Amino acid sequence: MDGRTDKFVSYSDASKDFSKVVRIAEKRGTVFITKNGEPCYAVLDYDFYKAHAKDSPSYIASQRVLEERYKAF
């Protein structure tokens, strides 16, 4: 993590105002949700995720799931 405090949102704030989490992710690429001062979740802007994780097994699996889901529509 880069230590930027503007990329961290407490769990309680995130649950009250998830649009705040989305705005930060859109601006910074990622936002970390904390519980008791420790990161517990990471929310990534999808373009940031694609650019940084394209060769990872989780990205490959997520693409497969997305393709299957969108076929249904």
Pairing of strands 38-44, 8-10: unpaired
For the chain, the residue count is 73
Q: Residue 44 belongs to a domain with what CATH number?
A: 3.40.1620.10
Q: Are 8 and 31 in contact (CB under 8 A)?
A: yes
pLDDT, residue 71, reads 67
Supply 16's token pair: 């009250």
Tell me the pLDDT tens digit for each residue of 13-58: 999 999 999 999 999 999 999 999 999 999 989 888 888 877 788 7
Domain range spanning residue 14?
Answer: 5-71
Q: How far apart are CA 44 and CA 61, in angstroms?
A: 16
Domain count, the chain: 1
Q: Which residue in this structure is represented by tokens 């769990």?
A: 11
